[in-house]
Structure 1
Amino acid sequence: MRADRLVATLLLLQARGHVTAPEVAAELEVSVATARRDLESLSTAGLPVYAQRGRGGGWALLGGGRTDLSGLSGPEVRALFLLLGPASSADPQVRGALRKLVRALPASFREQASAAGAALVVDPSRWGAAPPPERAGAAGGADADARAVLEDGVVARRRVSFAYVDGRGRTDPQRRTVDPWGLVEKAGTWYLVAGTATGRRTFRVARMQDVQVTDEPAQRPVDLDLVAEWAAARAQVEELRARVSADVLVEPWALAPLGDVLGRHLSPGEVQPDGRTRATVTSDTATMLARRLAGWHDAVEVLGPPDVRAALAAIGANLADRYGTPTTDR
């Protein structure tokens, strides 16, 4: 796991004071490029790791080159645990390592470190697709500033307020104030999982504007499990996205690529005498389902229901009107 390497790299820096990427690579049995990326990750995350350029250069810890965990500042502790926390949600060994690291910290930092370690979850799969075995890299983006403020609120256990833009680009005139429980990166898109007066809600970070941390303490369940909360929220969304189903026949050559695109929204059934596979495809509306299948017109036959077939016919008529009569300039 990458988290194991990052901790090992930090401890190697602590022991030696100064290392080069090839030395880290040889010690941890990884490529030089991987070692360099890990060192850069520690540095950009806010830890006191910096590059020494020129002949005899390498990487060192700020302040004389040697420190221990008790020498990390509050922001550095937070940066380390925000960086390693997502891996701990998927690996019990990493969780155990983080618990040991927490115990090695000064008492005044332990609460903050625990909060930061549990603040983030990474779910690299697309909506409707099964999670892959490896984590996708955390992405930046236009919502990075809002995300940084939200991280402050999650770690400090303070309520956050913001204006919210809906899916059609309309801003709600009334600001919202919520209890931030944690942040989730799903396939490059960030979400806030929060407690509200009506229960758990998720908010797309890119739609949150003017995010502010308030002075009000956040209400947070004592036994909160962010991974489980996100799994429940994800299941609700997937259920909403599967309210309409269609009965289809899929050509043999198209079954695998169609499954890659639709993920959980394709459920293959029995192979028919003509070689095609009978399957069920789901989506949130008949129109959206038709749009998903229109591009597979030569590989998928929709048997029903009638409203999905009618939506496909409407798409076909639209395409014929727009592109059916080519013009030639002479």
Structure 2
Amino acid sequence: QTPQWRTVDPIGLVTVRDRGYLLATRSGEDRTYRLSRISAAEELPEAAERPSRVDLDRIWRDRSARFLSGSDHITVRVRVNPARREELLDTALAVRAEEPAADGWPRLELTFQDSRHAEWALWQLGTDAEALSPQSLRTSLRNRATAVADHYGEPS
């Protein structure tokens, strides 16, 4: 998306899995911003509105639970080349689980915005990632690969 200015009332910063987030409110509504996506910030002269006592752990748990319960979100099991793991994690909304594997490629359970987001993220990694489930995502990626291969096949 095109960067846009937002005026927020900061509540605090949290770090989860080596990623920083700004917890804030905007027009009285809860907002969470990934720090790596903030390209500029400016302090305004007026004071921020925030509670005097803040429990960042509780706020983060509540917001994460609400976020992950979104109806369009999709959970994907994937194996990934360790050299591309961070690149994949940068595209996912959340990491639900991770386990090592005998082949050296960790197995991850990731949450994506929706099936299109998951397909896009895995497509970017080519053969350095493999969707293990759901089957609908595997089918979608196979169909996409077949269409590309057909497009670039021998000219008729």
TM-score by length of 2: 0.56
Query: SS of the residue aligned with 2:59?
Result: helix
Give the C-alpha shift of residue 322 in structure 1.
Answer: 7.6
Which runs of 5 or more structure 1 residues have no equivalent in the other structure? 1-167, 249-254, 266-281, 326-330
When the two chains are superposed, the root-mean-square deviation of aligned CA atoms in Å is 3.8
Query: SS of the residue aligned with 2:52?
Result: coil
Q: CA 1:212–1:314 in structure 2 vs 1: closer, same or farther (change >3 Å)?
A: same
1:204 match: 34
Give the C-alpha shift of residue 218 in structure 1.
Answer: 1.9
Alignment of 1:103-142 (within 5 A): none
Give the C-alpha shift of residue 182 in structure 1.
Answer: 0.8
2:99 and 2:108 in contact (8 A); partners too: no
Q: CA 1:301–1:186 in structure 2 vs 1: closer, same or farther (change >3 Å)?
A: closer
Give the C-alpha shift of residue 240 in structure 1.
Answer: 4.0
1:296 match: 130
One-letter code of the match for 1:315? R
2:3 match: 171
TM-score by length of 1: 0.30
Equivalent residue pairs, number: 126
Give the C-alpha shift of residue 203 in structure 1.
Answer: 1.7
Q: Which has the greater radius of gyration?
A: 1
Identical columns (%)? 25
Query: SS of the residue aligned with 1:171?
Result: coil
2:108 match: 262
One-letter code of the match for 1:236? R
1:284 match: 113
Give the C-alpha shift of residue 193 in structure 1.
Answer: 0.8
Q: When you count strand as a share of all residues, which structure comes out higher?
A: 2
1:3 match: none
Which runs of 5 or more structure 2 residues have no equivalent in the other structure? 78-97
Give the C-alpha shift of residue 321 in structure 1.
Answer: 4.2
One-letter code of the match for 1:197? S
In 2, distance between residues paired with 1:301 and 1:212? 43
Q: Which has the higher contact order (CA 8 A, sep 6+)?
A: 2
1:226 match: 56
Residues 39-96 of structure 1: per-residue CA shift (max 9 Å, x gap): xxxxxxxxxxxxxxxxxxxxxxxxxxxxxxxxxxxxxxxxxxxxxxxxxxxxxxxxxx
Choose from 43, 64, 74 the match for 1:244: 74
Alignment of 1:7-26 (within 5 A): none
1:181 and 1:193 in contact (8 A); partners too: yes
In 2, distance between residues paired with 1:288 and 1:176? 24
